[in-house]
Amino acid sequence: MARPWQATVRSALRLFRSELGLIFRRPRTVAMLAVVAVVPVLFGAAIRVFGDDGEAILVQVAGNGLALGFVAFTFMVPLILPVVVAVVAGDAVAGEAGLGTLRHLLTAPAGRTRLLGVKFAGMSVFALATSLIIMVAALLTGLVLFPVGPVTLLSGSTVPLVEGLLRIGLVALYVTLGMIALGTLALAVSVFTDTSIGAVVTTVVLVLVSQILTVIPQLDAISPYLLTSWFQRFDGALREPLATGDMGQGVLAFAAYIAIFGSLAWARFTSRDVTS
């Protein structure tokens, strides 16, 4: 097809916009985003109403609202975020296949690569949106309910407010990348099945199993290869000096997952017979 590249970009953008509309206009997406936004508010309200109970991490929140951002990520990264991302990513291709709309989207093999790219981009935007919503909800709640000031890091040093905000932003970006890696895995599963619920459950079960494997000390040797063991490494943003080594390794692990599962999804999606 000898089309000028502008036209290709324009049609890809059109597809991307319609994909974003598909994701974000769904009632279930709105409901999930609402849950994600409410959890940090509940954390803040609970600490405000019931006190910090002497728990160091909660004492921090009571002393400085910005710490609520870190607390929210700490509690949501292990399960809530992976489930939410798995629902959207697992549904991306299998959902269309299940509804019978995938056939209409595919006209040429070249179009399949583009369609998968758009699905990946849509899932990534959703992952970024969830992280940002958690961050903003937590910061606003912290701002309203608690005093705000310089931030105490895990290393015991105190950084000014602006640097504290930048570090929370770094946490949000790191978590986003981790969730995109997980979403890519879910997208790959989604390409292999026609039932979206199957893809979602498979991904969530994989997350749970890998978290159980991380806890078993005899299996310490495999934990660096598991995706979930890198999720919590965002705490490197709270050390002085920044634990760039740890977080960099995490980013490399996420990139490896994205490359492997992204290419698996592509190979399957561009070579399979689409019948539904």
Positions in the binding site for other proteins (CB under 8 A): 56-57, 59-60, 63-64, 74, 109, 149-150, 152, 154-158, 217-218, 220, 232, 235, 238-241, 243, 245, 252, 256, 259-260, 262-264, 266-267, 270-271
Classify 113 in phi/psi space as left (phi over 0), alpha (psi -120 to 50) or beta.
alpha
152/210 with CB nearer other proteins: 152
101/263 with CB nearer other proteins: 263
74/193 with CB nearer other proteins: 74
70/126 with CB nearer other proteins: 70
195/249 with CB nearer other proteins: 249
Minimum distance between the CB of residue 14 and other proteins, rounded to whole angstroms? 26
Minimum distance between the CB of residue 167 and other proteins, rounded to whole angstroms? 14
Minimum distance between the CB of residue 185 and other proteins, rounded to whole angstroms? 13
Minimum distance between the CB of residue 7 and other proteins, rounded to whole angstroms? 25
Minimum distance between the CB of residue 271 and other proteins, rounded to whole angstroms? 4
Minimum distance between the CB of residue 140 and other proteins, rounded to whole angstroms? 22
Minimum distance between the CB of residue 4 and other proteins, rounded to whole angstroms? 27
73/126 with CB nearer other proteins: 73
Amino acid at 125: V
Minimum distance between the CB of residue 236 and other proteins, rounded to whole angstroms? 8
59/170 with CB nearer other proteins: 59
Instruction: Name residues whose C-beta falls within 8 Å of residue 199's C-beta, 6 or more positions apart in sequence.
Output: 86, 89, 90, 91, 94, 186, 189, 190, 192, 193
Classify 54 in phi/psi space as left (phi over 0), alpha (psi -120 to 50) or beta.
left
11/263 with CB nearer other proteins: 263
